[in-house]
Amino acid sequence: MATSLLAWVVGRKKSFGYAINGLSTLYRQTNARIHALATLLVIALGVALELNSLDWTLVAIAATVVWVAEALNTALETLSDAAVPEHSPHIAIAKDAAGAVLLASLGAVAVGVLVFTPHLVARLGFRW
Active site residues: 70
| Closest to 66 (Cα-Cα) out of 111, 19, 103, 94 | 103
Residue 5 backbone phi and psi in degrees, to 5 = -65, -45
Gap between the Cα atoms of 104 and 125, Å rounded: 31
Q: Give, for 29, the enclosing helix (H) or strand (E).
A: none
Report the 10 Å Cβ neighbour count for 73. 24
